[in-house]
Amino acid sequence: MRTAKAYKGIPMEGMLATWYARNTAKMSEEFRACARRIAAHLSPGAAVLEAAPGPGYLAVELAKLGPYRVTGIDISETFVRLASEQAARAGVDVDVPPGRRRGAALPGRDVRFHGPAARRSRNFSDPTGALREMHRVLRPGGSALVIDMRNDVSNETIDAAVDGMHLDRVNAFLTRVTFKHMLRKRAYSRADFQAMAAATPFRRADIVDDGIGFDVWLRKLSA
């Protein structure tokens, strides 16, 4: 088990964020499938918070599925703009407020969310603290979902996932290199996530493998 460490990598802004958004746009079916998994745990009108929504593809797909109140928060000014533009093009209501600084607390003093969700937890400045914040803003009985790459994923599984993105040759090569030599090194294991959950009021996590990553479900007990 590794100790959860703060992310100190390159900020996802400008051209880097735009490149990421352009490539991940080709993963539309993955985002739709993920949105359906989340929606299965929600009731109509549920308030949903996505931490680090990036370009907003998942938040938008979820907003398409029902009358949910979807909020996304991201420290990247580029991603805030891209996510807002994506929601406007899709004609759905997704609130992506600007100005979230690194390490800032999640919103939730006046509203409790039915389902916080997050991708790329390896990029959090304080991963365990982020889980505590998710617990704080959850309604009693609600569930949080963390979707991330797993550190034991094989090269073959990564290659198959990148093939499914239908990228051009150059971007496919760059994406494989990024997954294999950057993201996998920072990714967590099942034991890492269980240890982080144990250090929060969630106490434990239910973890389900999904392709190159896994879904980490965390549930807040009913009052």
% of the chain beyond a pLDDT of 70: 87
Q: pLDDT tens, 10-54?
A: 678 999 899 889 988 888 888 999 899 899 988 889 999 998 899
Q: What's the predicted TM-score (pTM) here?
A: 0.80
Domain ranges of the chain: 14-151+188-219
d(CA 90, CA 122): 29
Give the residue-averaged pLDDT of 58-69.
95
Q: In which residue are the tokens 């505590």 written?
A: 132
- At residue 30, the pLDDT reads 86
In this predicted structure, the answer to whether residue 204 has a pLDDT above a threshold of 90 is yes
CATH code of the domain occupying 14-151+188-219: 3.40.50.150
Closest Cα to residue 56, out of 34, 25, 33, 29?
25
Kindly compute the dihedral angle of the four CA atoms of residues 208, 214, 215, 216, in this order, to the nearest 10 degrees: 90
The pLDDT confidence band at residue 177, using thresholds 50, 70 and 90, is very high
